[in-house]
A = this chain, B = another copy of it.
Amino acid sequence: MTDHDFLRRAIDYAVENVRTARGGPFGAVIVRDGVILAAGSNVVTASLDPTAHAEIMAIRAACLRAKSFNLSGCTMYSSCEPCPMCLGAIYWARIDRLVYASTRDDAAAAGFDDSLIYEQIPLAPGSRSLRTENFLREEGARAFTAWRESLGKVPY
């Protein structure tokens, strides 16, 4: 299968997801060594989970399949340009390559506008539309001290 085949598969999942009324028009597949490791579609409404975007669902499934939280060596094919949340997840999962079909402008024209979030993330915390406060910084250090002293930790 070629890049185009895998990307068409992601688009097929998006279309199928709408036809079965499971969620929004988004699908994704994750490929390693020319084989589909896992697929995902948007199930925000069906699962009452605002984080259940297609890319996140595909990452979770691929990690379970690969028995690893590290997907280096993988390509993510998404029917649409990922939102900032999903882009962050792609980086955390160490995915090497991203291929997408529709753009964020196409998504916005269809009523799925993540441009606000793209604008907000680079801002200083106090300048965002999300009201944000920072307290107890010294007490927060308790968690990092526990981590530094932990013998049983699994670094990641």
Q: Is the CB of B137 within 8 A of A102?
A: yes
Encode contact with B along A7-31: 1 for CB under 8 Å, 0 otherwise.
Answer: 1100100110011010111110000
Please state the number of chain copies in the assembly: 2
- Shortest CB distance A11–B (Å): 6
Q: Is A69 a contact partner of B88 (Cβ separation < 8 A)?
A: no
Q: Which of A72-88 contact B (CB under 8 A)?
A: 79-81, 83-88
Question: Do B140 and A11 touch (CB < 8 A)?
Answer: yes
With A7-B135, A91-B130, A152-B21 in contact, do A147 and B51 touch (Cβ < 8 Å)? no
What are the 4 tightest A-B residue pairs by CB atom distance, in nearest-first order? Answer: A85-B88, A101-B140, A102-B140, A14-B143
* B-binding residues in A (CB < 8 A): 3-4, 7-8, 11, 14-15, 18-19, 21, 23-27, 44-46, 48-51, 56, 59-60, 63-64, 67-71, 79-81, 83-103, 106-107, 109-111, 114, 116-118, 120-122, 125, 130-137, 139-144, 146-148, 150, 152-156
